[in-house]
Amino acid sequence: MISLANNKDLKPEDFPSDIEGLRMTRQRREVLAVILRDRDHPTANDVFLRAQDRMPTISLATVYNCLEALVTHNIVRQVNLDRESSRYCPNLSDHCHFQDEASGKIHDVVFKEGVKLEDILELPKGTKISHLDISLKGNFGNR
Ligand SMILES: [Zn+2]
């Protein structure tokens, strides 16, 4: 698999014809490129508006279908914060989301080196974590 996580300059035409078993149609390429480009956790509507720059004929329904396929094939992650619209994140490594209340922007935050969930949470004995979804809200103080 190509490394998508750290490659924000990949152009849609650079993607392989198949990623994680998903055939990369022109529309899926555009949608994925949009998500990789800005990494600001866009909503489906944000993706739609941005994808239109290069593909004016793409519809919102197509964008939704593309996003669903990309999420199902673990190429991008769907992020749900509160009751807001779902957002999309290309970072597949374990991380949490921090929403800056002042700007509304969502940032990826990672665990400190070597820290495991079992070290900080009282998990029932035998618990096996299959999915991590932690979101935090706050601000950056007086920055
Ligand atoms: Zn993220």
pLDDT in tens, 107-129: 999 999 998 888 899 999 999 98
Q: Do residues 77 and 17 share a domain?
A: yes
pTM above the 0.75 mark? yes
| CA 91–ligand 1 middle distance (angstroms) | 5
Q: DSSP string spanning the chain?
A: ----TT-TT--GGGS-SEETTEE--HHHHHHHHHHHHH-S--BHHHHHHHHHHH-TT--HHHHHHHHHHHHHTTSSEEE--TTSPPEEE---SS-EEEEETTT--EEEE-PPTT--HHHHS-PPTT--------EEEE--TT-
Give distance in angstroms: CA of 97 to centre of ligand 1.
6
Task: Note whether 79 and 100 are same-domain residues.
Answer: no
CATH of the domain at 71: 1.10.10.10
Ligand 1 centroid–CA 44 distance in Å is 15
Residues 100 and 85 both lie in one domain: no
Ligand 1 centre to CA of 128 (Å) is 22
CA of 131 to the centre of ligand 1 (A): 14
Q: What is the pLDDT along the chain (143 residues), one digit of tens a residue?
A: 455 656 667 788 888 899 999 999 999 999 999 999 989 999 999 999 999 999 999 999 999 999 999 999 999 999 998 888 999 999 998 899 999 999 989 999 999 999 888 889 999 999 998 888 899 999 988 66
Instruction: Determine the structural domain holding residue 61 and report its residue range.
Output: 12-89
